[in-house]
Amino acid sequence: MDLWFRSVRICWWRVLLLMSVFQDYLSSMLDCPPTCSCSQTEIYCNKSDNGRFFPLLALQDGNGTGVDIADLFKNITSIHLENWTGLQTLRDVDMELYTGLQRLTIMNCNLRVIQPRAFAQNPHLRYINLSKNPLTTLSWQLFQHLQLSELRLDGVVFDCGCSIRWIQLWQEKGEAGLHTQQLYCMNGASKIRLNNMHINSCDLPEISVSHSSVLVTEGENVTVSCNGSRLPLPEVDWTVGDLHSINTHLSNVYWPDIHSINLTLFNISRDDNNFQLTCIAENLVGMTNSSIQLNVQFPPVILRLAEPEKRHDTCIEFTVRGYPYPKLRWFHKQTEIKENDFIWTDKDTYQDYLEGCLLFKNPTHLNNGNYTLEASNHLGTVTKTVYGHFLNDEAEIGEWTTFFFFFTQNVTIAVGLAGFACVLLLVLFVLINKYGRRSKFGMKGESAQLAGQGREAQKAAPLAFQNQPIRTSSGVFVLSITLVLTPTSLPSSATLELVHHNVTCHKC
């Protein structure tokens, strides 16, 4: 309770002392109503009061410096009012600042009327206690948007009638703890138990819609129909707030108990694909709803086709939209790309969007060129082309040539015979290994080239086996060069650097 005043009767000198000590706080605090006690989360008023209005925290000081007033109200989670004999009407505005309110008790007051939107700003309300108030009726619509775990109405004697039939139904369904309460209503002069109330022509609306889903093509018109039936005659409406297509409602009543509404959508927009058309029927007793799923077909469009981008694998990113989902095909050099371990598509769907990548594993300049994406469904076909420029290997080959030039030059000048033979053997081994399979020296290039050639090439030269020996031999190869060249001291440090450069570059 610390800083809050418990009552107005508190000695004024203490107030002044407090104010001087906690000036800063107090200037931003709100004042608790006189007959209540307040904390930061609760307003508790159990003393008789004949105030006519719902308690409202009042600003203590002209300026609420630094503290958000809305926050102060929002932090109140519980309000308890008891014996407030003057409180007859709960107005729409009374509780709208207490947006964080969870528990509300207004008991033994003189409450007769609760305005229809009284709880509209209190979505967190779970517990409402209206015990012992002279309410004669209560509408279900007050609680429509709340998830009440408990609604206490003990000691309230309603007027028997269709307007409280919903309480009977909630009791039957065991909703909001109403089934645990002994409730009564006045039937003329006699007080009867609510369970024993029988009202004719007073039922929950029934609803029937013309379709469970509709499939249309963009630009067409469609009409769907909804009937709300039972008495009292329900209000029927389609919720079309977020609909993009132009629409009209046509209402008709088939007396005595059917209210029918036709909804027509004109020139249907693709943006309404997947829209849920919901029809709502409500009357005094309650609300019923039913939905129709709208599926709008339209030809594909390619919204985005980006240039290759290096990620984990290299990706040509695309976004395609269409319904039914279009089939995608890729073309490169006038032929369709067959997916394999080196080129494949990875895609995801979101509503009517297809998003994804044409992925390349270690592409080379051989993969350079135009890539065409074709998207088609039964309504049409579109294509879009992007130029893919991949890592160019020419430079690397150049480096290797230089390397071999130096290598041969040095070796021919002066080398121990054993070393020469050894190196020559290794070189031969490597050359045979590589040229014999018509591939380049770069290991990167090799797999990428295979990628370009597709599955056939892969089968012809099983890669997993082939790659390993080459790697090993290159390792030994490099090692031997260093051993052989060092004693001759012929190559300049620049040459050695070049050697090292090449080695490291091709290991990465």
- Which spans of this chain sit near ligand NAG (rule: CB under 6 A)? 40, 44, 46-48, 62-63, 67, 71-72, 75, 82-83, 105, 107-108, 129, 131-132, 152, 154-155, 208-210, 219-221, 223, 225, 227, 239, 250, 252, 254, 258, 260, 262, 266-267, 269, 278, 280, 289, 369-370, 385, 387
Nearer to ligand NAG among residue 66 and residue 462 (C-beta): 66
Q: Cβ 212 to ligand NAG, closest distance in Å? A: 11
Q: Cβ 434 to ligand NAG, closest distance in Å? A: 29
Detail the DSSP E strand segments found in 153-306. 157-159, 184-187, 190-193, 206-209, 213-217, 222-229, 235-239, 246-254, 258-266, 276-283, 286-305
- Which residues, including other chains, have CB under 8 Å from residue 172's CB and lie 6 or more apart? 179
Nearer to ligand NAG among residue 83 and residue 345 (C-beta): 83
Nearer to ligand NAG among residue 235 and residue 399 (C-beta): 235
Q: From CA 304, how far away is CA 37, in angstroms rounded?
A: 62
Hey, is 82 helix, strand or coil?
strand
Q: Cβ 213 to ligand NAG, closest distance in Å? A: 14
Nearer to ligand NAG among residue 270 and residue 434 (C-beta): 270
Nearer to ligand NAG among residue 27 and residue 480 (C-beta): 27
Task: Tell me 49's DSSP state.
Answer: B
Q: Cβ 218 to ligand NAG, closest distance in Å? A: 8
- Which residues, including other chains, have CB under 8 Å from residue 85's CB and lie 6 or more apart? 48, 49, 50, 109, 110
Q: Cβ 495 to ligand NAG, closest distance in Å? A: 39
- Joined together, the tokens standing for residue 406 give 């130096």
Q: From CA 305, how far away is CA 357, in angstroms rounded?
A: 9
Nearer to ligand NAG among residue 239 and residue 468 (C-beta): 239
Q: From CA 29, how far away is CA 67, in angstroms rounded?
A: 8
CB 336 within 8 A of CB 329: yes
Q: Cβ 13 to ligand NAG, closest distance in Å? A: 22
Angle at 141 between CA 139 and CA 143, to 5 degrees: 95
Q: From CA 281, how far away is CA 258, in angstroms rounded?
A: 11
CB 409 within 8 A of CB 505: no
CB 372 within 8 A of CB 334: no
Q: Cβ 138 to ligand NAG, closest distance in Å? A: 15
Q: Is residue 487 reached through a cis peptide bond, with omega within 30 degrees of 0 on the bond before it?
A: no
Number of other residues whose CB lies within 10 A of the CB of residue 219: 13
Nearer to ligand NAG among residue 72 and residue 490 (C-beta): 72
Report which of 89, 130, 101 is spatially closest to residue 42, judged by C-alpha positions: 101
Nearer to ligand NAG among residue 40 and residue 408 (C-beta): 40
Amino acid (1-letter code) at residue 481: I
Q: Cβ 462 to ligand NAG, closest distance in Å? A: 32
Q: Cβ 223 to ligand NAG, closest distance in Å? A: 5
Q: From CA 158, how far away is CA 139, in angstroms rounded?
A: 12
Q: Cβ 458 to ligand NAG, closest distance in Å? A: 25
Give me the residue label for tokens 């209190």: 122
CB 156 within 8 A of CB 112: no
Nearer to ligand NAG among residue 180 and residue 472 (C-beta): 180
Nearer to ligand NAG among residue 254 and residue 405 (C-beta): 254
